[in-house]
Amino acid sequence: MSRLDGRQIQIGVPDTGWATNSVYYGLTVSLNLPNALNDIVTSIKNVQPFIQSNIQALTASYNNSTASNTQLSYTPQGEVLVYVNGQKQQLGYSTASSVCYFGTSSAFARSNYSSVMAGDYLFWNPTNAGFSLDSLDFIDFYYDRLVQ
């Protein structure tokens, strides 16, 4: 934390634990950090990187084509990275303007990365990508998943 004059303000924390409704240097500090930090650590421990790799592509020469017969195995905890033949692709959330997108059908694109779920398919727009897919192409999904 910095003051407007550029000098630092130090807020002390008693040795007995985190401050709750304490006043230091004229600032009121209300913290319940042990619970918040515990929640963050628990969330981090329960998230694990996951890769679905070497997924054989289907022929996708028309916009909004199903890119493969493989669905996402788990509901991602964050954004999914999509690679075709080792090259990262721009995942989007529109059936018309995206290179590729996840959804349950070609008519339905997920609105953002937090709405992508297990069971979704990848759809491909060759016009936006600049190339079509065929059975010689391989797709990889990189994402974090929740573990119990």
User: How is the chain split into domains, by residue range?
Assistant: 10-45, 47-146
pTM confidence score:
0.69
Query: How much of the chain exceeds pLDDT 70, in percent?
Result: 70
Structure confidence by residue, pLDDT tens digits, 42-97: 556 689 999 999 999 999 999 999 999 999 999 999 999 999 999 999 999 888 88
- List, edge to edge, every strand of the sheet that includes 121-124: 65-66, 121-124, 100-103
Q: Is the pLDDT of residue 10 over 90?
A: no
In this prediction, residue 33 carries a pLDDT of 56
What length does the chain have? 148
d(CA 27, CA 64): 56
Q: Is the pLDDT of residue 19 over 50?
A: no
d(CA 144, CA 51): 8
d(CA 122, CA 142): 13
In this prediction, residue 1 carries a pLDDT of 46
Q: Is the pLDDT of residue 27 over 60?
A: no
Instruction: Tell me what the mean pLDDT of segment 33-43 comes to.
Output: 58
d(CA 107, CA 85): 26
The half-sphere exposure of 116 on its side-chain side, counting CA atoms within 13 A, is 26
Residue 36 pLDDT level (bands cut at 50, 70, 90) = low
